[in-house]
Structures are given as structure tokens and as C-alpha cells.
Structure 1
């Protein structure tokens, strides 16, 4: 077989013993989890902002960024709940390119998965300990989520993964909200089928164990735009798209109907500055239609310390994306305050 074993990796239980979560952080996260759950179940009308870099590439700049988010959340927490977007593994359309901190703790060095799982756990733990904000990550590899499951307060299943059976089954066992993105085709039925699967109980193999899940009532949808057969971006954040999703939810037997609108990716055509306009349009749609206000629970925004993106190299600008381009901090701060006034 064309496999070479580099390291035998520690199990999630062993890694958690080596890098344990302290009791104070557990209490902070428990409070956060309950607050987020209340938003998805309708007990709270706070608005969620999942905001952060396209990819978490450097622990120091990511933690600095989350500290800045914390300072803003202290001012807007009566209306907004901020979840830092800390994505430590990245899907690659062609298989090439930077695959995230899980693979490369240092983007300029070769892949090192053993160092990677240690680095991402330490970073997520630092975020909770230093800021009290537990983060969101992407469930790219379902078997790997156990390394972080005690630290995360939100997970997203990406457009390329949402049709995968293992992602759906594992999401059914999560005790935090899991957002199912529409696939790259933009098909709503695929996305809603994934939510249905995640909300139901299952019995399957996970990490060599025979496991059972109870179903995740907090599984929900994420709209991120799609592409047509020619690869042209087709956004799905407009009022008509939200109404179509609302009608589809009404026909489905699903708990806690909810959607998060991803302002970047194919909704913006990867024109990162468009996120500002898109966020405002979604807020206008919510204000115009009370049913949409109940359905649209929040926004996802790609943002970092510096705007735009850069290539990986020796002289990289700290806090500037090395994957998709992001809003810079000044625009992010202003946008959050504008969302606070309008949500």
C-alpha cells in the first residue's frame, strides 16, 4: 500500500490529559454554550456574529485578534454574541495549498500532524483562558473533532463535506450547534437533508468504536452561495433566498429552524469588501420580515488584523490571511458596531 506511517498519534483522551482544560475555563464555556443554545432555541433574541480569519495560521496573531473581539463584545453583549472563527484545518479544492494549522503549525515548514494537533489544542485553550470566548471551527475531518470537542462552542460542516455520511452522523452526536452549509451547487435540499440527518439518532463506527447518538436539535443551515455549471458565483443571501429557505423549513419536520448567513465565499464572489454590504442587506431583510428575524440567527464574516491576503513566504505580514482575503480590523470594528445598531 502507498502509505508511510510518520507518527502514531495520541488519542484524544491522551491529548486532553497532556493539555487539560482547567475548571475555570470549563465553567466559562458552559455558560457560553447555554447562551448560544438559547439563541438557537429562541429563548434569546441576541444576534450571533461568527467572525475571524479564513484560516487560523499563527497562534499569536489569532489570540491578539480574539482579544480585540472580546473588547468589542463587552460593549455590545446586550444584543450580540460573538463567536471567534478559529478554523484550524482548511479544505483545498484541488488538494494543493495550505491545509491549516492542523497540518502545518508553521506555514513555512513541512506538514507535521503531531505538532499540529498539539498546536491547535493549545491555541483554542488559550483563547478560552485569556478571553473567555470559546470559538468556532470547521468539522473537516470528523474523526479529529474529538481533539477539540471540549473547547468548541460551534462547528460548521463545509460545502464539500455536507453530503458526506460520516459528517452527518458525527454532527448528530455533537452537543453544540453544528451549521450545515449548502453545497457548492447551492442545492437547498442537500443542505436540509444534512440537517435532518444530524437531528436524528444514529448508530455507527467512530474511531474504532460502536457508538450511538441521540441527535442534535441545534443542527441548522448556513447559506454561503453556490456556483452554476460554468463556475459563476450565485449568491443566496437575498430576501427571496431567505424566504425560499423559510418555506422549505416550514415543510420539513425540523427542530429549531435557523440559518447563519456566510457573507463571504460565493455570496461575495470572494470580494471581501462586499461582506459589509451583504451584512447590511441581511439585516434589512430581517427587519422587514418578522419571520426572517426569527430564522436568521446571525452572520459569518471573514476578518483578520490586516485586510486582504498574502502568499506564504519568509516576510509575511502578521495577521494577514494566507488563504481567502479578509476584512481588516478597522472595517470589522465599524461593521460590528453598525450591526449592533441595526440588529
Structure 2
């Protein structure tokens, strides 16, 4: 048993210098960040939609999807602020299998983390510069945040990471909203503790620095369903769960900007992506019926790609997920517009 230190990887400053964000895009991002922050704070009537592939594996397919999504954003901009999911790390429950673009720029090839760091920067950069959309990624590895932070308008901490101290502390220093998912076992208190930690000032070691943060008041909850002790998936987007979360926030006045995003896939849908349409409708019904839920609800996270479903690596269908199954583009586009009509 041993670990081999193969090579020194570039630091974020070096990668950014090699692939810089344009001045024009950096200026545009300020306005988008302000809009997204206003939504999380409840100061804007718009809702947030974080939508895109389960895993961004193919740059050409991701850019084709992004170009279509940018057109939809322009059509619903008065009601919805879209941030595109460009997820370049894939958590694996058992630690094996395809771990995303960062690990394998070629999904059929061997791991290459140097090429992967450049590939994830290049993909996010093309989406931003060519379509005008800003992006979201999962903070699977806290050390990687600085490679992309000038382009990310939203960050998610996944169900397997939400109890981890380093994720919570790094989230406290991120300058955009960070969504904390409920853990795989479903504990609401674990999720809320993570939000609390991220909202408060912290001191910790990060990338060989002693770091102090001021806290992130935009940290909030994401409900994504959970796996029960019987190993069956259970949703937590129903009226009763939303009502319970609203009450938990109300009972503790130490939280800033109480907010929730509903992840419509994963254990909420049982990884049945077509159910995401029905789930959005039910949540919007709950929002319409209960003022406390309406006060808390900020938007949706949806897994969507060019084609419905998924396929094995090397399956050959352009724009179909090679990880979790996704909602295809035509159905996604209708869902976005139907959602805008209801808001």
C-alpha cells in the first residue's frame, strides 16, 4: 500500500493565465451574480433554474445544449434566471467507474488529471464566452474551486460531501450561492448544520494557506431525496417536507436568507428523468397553496441533455448522458416555458 506523487499540477493562477476569461464576460458576470443573489435573498420575484447534463462529458454536445439553453433563457428572462449545469466531477458511491471530465477528458481513456484540469476550464470558458450563460458545478473537490470560480454563478455541495468539514469551510468563502444537499440518508439537521457552518466566518487550511472567511450568507438547502434504511429511494419534495423545512428555518433565527432549491432528479425521481416534469408541477402547486413554502422556495435543479435517458460509455448517441439518465431537450424546453407561464 502506497501513494505515488506523479507530478506537480498547475495552480489555478497558471491555468487562468493560459485560458483567461474576457473582460467583457467578467463585467457581465457581475450583473448575473447580483441577480442570482437577489433571488436567493428573496428580493427578486424571479426563480432560479440550474439545468443541464448529469455529467458534462462531451464538449461539442455540451456547447450545442448551451446554445439552445441560451435561446430559452432569452425567452423567459423576465421570470427565470438560468444557470447551466456544467458538472465536470462525478461522485462515485463505491469510488470506481467514470469520475467525470476532470479525471478522464476521454471517457474511454485512462485518467489524466493535468489534461482534465485544462479540459474543465476550457469547457466552462466556451459556454460562457460563446453563449453568454454562466455555469454551475459541483464542489466535489474543494481544492478545485479556484480553477473555475471566475465563471461559476452557482456551486453545489453533494449528498456525499455535505457532512465534510472542508466542504463546509470552503463554502463559507465562496462569493456565489452554495447549495447544500441533504445527505444520502436524508437528514434535514445535517443539511441545515452544513448551511449554518457555511454562513459563518471560518478559519482553516486551504491549498497550503491559512485562510479566514467572512461566511457566505447565500448558502442554502437543496432537497434531492434520500435512500432509506431499506435501500429504497424516498422523495422529499412533497408538501409536508417543504412545510417541515420552512418550520425548521423559522425555529432558528440564526440562519440568513432561508431558501431551498428542489433537485428534481436523483432520489426525488428515483432516477426516472421524465418524472422531473411532474415533480416541478407538484412543487409549484405547493408553493401556490402555502405562503411559508412560497417564502422559502427559490427554484429547481434539473438534469437535462440533448437526448432522453442515458447510455453506456461509448454508446455513440450524441448528447445522451453516459451517467444518470436525463430529460431530453424538447421536453426540457417545454418545461422551462410552462414553468415561466406559472410563475
Shared fold by TM > 0.5? yes
Counterparts in 2 of 1:211-290, with a 5 A limit?
211-252=211-252, 253-290=254-291
Q: C-alpha displacement at 1:294, in angstroms?
A: 2.0
- SS at 2:308 equivalent: strand
2-structure distance, mates of 1:234, 1:305: 27
Aligned to 2:170: 170
Structure 1: tracts of 5 or more residues without a match? none
Q: C-alpha displacement at 1:28, in angstroms?
A: 1.3
- SS at 1:176 equivalent: coil
1-structure distance, mates of 2:139, 2:227: 22
Aligned to 2:309: 308
Aligned to 2:60: 60
Q: C-alpha displacement at 1:125, in angstroms?
A: 1.0
- SS at 1:300 equivalent: strand
When the two chains are superposed, the root-mean-square deviation of aligned CA atoms in Å is 0.9
Aligned to 1:89: 89
C-alpha deviations, 1:285-325, integer Å up to 9, x for none? 11112221221100011000011000012x52111000000
Aligned length: 342
Deviation >6 Å, runs of 4+: none
Counterparts in 2 of 1:1-343, with a 5 A limit?
2-252=2-252, 253-313=254-314, 315-343=315-343
CA contact (8 A) 1:89 1:99 kept: yes
- SS at 1:309 equivalent: coil
2-structure distance, mates of 1:291, 1:130: 40
- SS at 1:84 equivalent: strand
TM-score normalized with structure 2 length: 0.98
Q: C-alpha displacement at 1:144, in angstroms?
A: 1.0
Q: C-alpha displacement at 1:239, in angstroms?
A: 0.4
1-structure distance, mates of 2:141, 2:174: 14
Q: C-alpha displacement at 1:129, in angstroms?
A: 0.7
C-alpha deviations, 1:246-294, integer Å up to 9, x for none? 0001112100000000000000111111111001000111111222122
- SS at 2:153 equivalent: strand
2-structure distance, mates of 1:129, 1:274: 33
Q: C-alpha displacement at 1:126, in angstroms?
A: 1.0
Q: C-alpha displacement at 1:103, in angstroms?
A: 0.5
1-structure distance, mates of 2:31, 2:106: 33
TM-score normalized with structure 1 length: 0.98
